[in-house]
Amino acid sequence: MPSYRPESVGKAVQVALTEILRVETRDPRLAEVIVMAVKMSQDLRMAKIFVSIMGDQQVPTEVLQSLNRALPFLRRSLAQRVQLRNAPELVFAFDDSIAQGAHIEQLLDQLKP
């Protein structure tokens, strides 16, 4: 029988991290970070967080480095907000689906007569 707990915990982690990044972080590079999705492992010990950048002026590798530097703070804040036995290990990955969608839309606009 499949367990839906990783999905529901992933949603809770997504909401909590969005709030932490929006309100509590002091790094200006993290102000425009959007948490697109969270994929939790079955044992809830690891969370892969897919992030995107709202503005185009920042390089994704710099943002990922900033997130990794803020990792202890983010994990501690997340543990306070989401009630789990163990705070999950956080792994950040860049999600470029917004940029790909904009590129496809631009290509489609070029095809219009």
- Separation between Cα atoms, residue 90 and residue 104, nearest integer Å: 31
- The two structure tokens encoding residue 102: 């904009």
In 3-state terms, what secondary structure has residue 75?
A: helix
Q: CB-hemisphere CA count at 13 Å for 49?
A: 28
Side chain identity, residue 82: V
Domain edges within the chain: 5-111
**Residue 111's pLDDT band (cuts 50, 70, 90):** confident
Residues 39, 51, 60, 44: what is their CA dihedral angle, to the nearest 10 degrees?
-30
At 7-28, the pLDDT tens digits run 999 999 999 999 999 888 888 8
Side chain identity, residue 43: D
**Residue 53's pLDDT band (cuts 50, 70, 90):** confident
At 54-99, the pLDDT tens digits run 766 667 788 888 899 999 999 999 999 988 888 899 999 998 877 7
Superfamily of domain 5-111: K homology (KH) domain (3.30.300.20)
Closest CA to 92 of 13, 27, 28: 13
